[in-house]
Amino acid sequence: MLEKIFKKLVNKETILYTIFGVATSILNVAMFHVLDILGMEYRIANLITLITVKLAAYLCNKNFVFKSKCNNFMELVMEFARFVFWRGATMILDYVGLIFLVEIVHMKKLYGKIIVTVLVIAINYVTGKKHVFKNQVGAEKN
């Protein structure tokens, strides 16, 4: 039973998601930090960073993690719309979560950004796998 759970949790898809998730998370935190150091208001820096990182994540997840293939332009539009919807939801969580940690909890901006990013990664994997990239090629199916 433990072997079955391990195989479900640790496979090519989850390893690739982890690699690209770490890469986009580093981009997320680094870009935010650079814009913050440059004096940009942290809410605006976070918004610019989130939009940039979400687009990069779409390309990585579509092409390398879930290997989603669309048969026509409409399928691509629908897939991207699902991605925007689900990542938009976690983007709101990321955006509001950082404000909460900075302004209510009085946490340092960089630490708050890291904490929120880790939470969002887990949610994004589940929503990506279950709701966005539905026509996977080469990825494990449930």
pLDDT of residue 136: 52
Q: Is 34 left (phi over 0), alpha (psi -120 to 50) or beta?
A: alpha
What are the pLDDT digits (tens) for 30-87? 999 999 999 999 999 999 999 999 899 999 989 998 888 999 999 999 999 999 999 8
CA angle 134, 139, 140 (to 5 degrees): 95
Query: What was the pLDDT predicted at 2?
Result: 78
Q: Which amino acid is at 102?
A: V
In a domain, 72, yes or no: yes
The answer to whether residue 139 sits within a structural domain is: no
Write down how long the chain is.
142
Residue 72 gets the label, from left (phi > 0), alpha (psi -120 to 50) or beta, of beta
- Domain residues for the domain of 25 are 2-132
Looking at residue 100, its pLDDT comes to 97
Tell me the per-residue pLDDT of 77-120, one tens digit each, with 9 for 90 and over. 999 999 999 989 999 999 999 999 999 999 999 999 999 998 99
* Residue 126 φ/ψ, nearest 5 degrees: -65, -45
Number of domains into which the chain is organized: 1
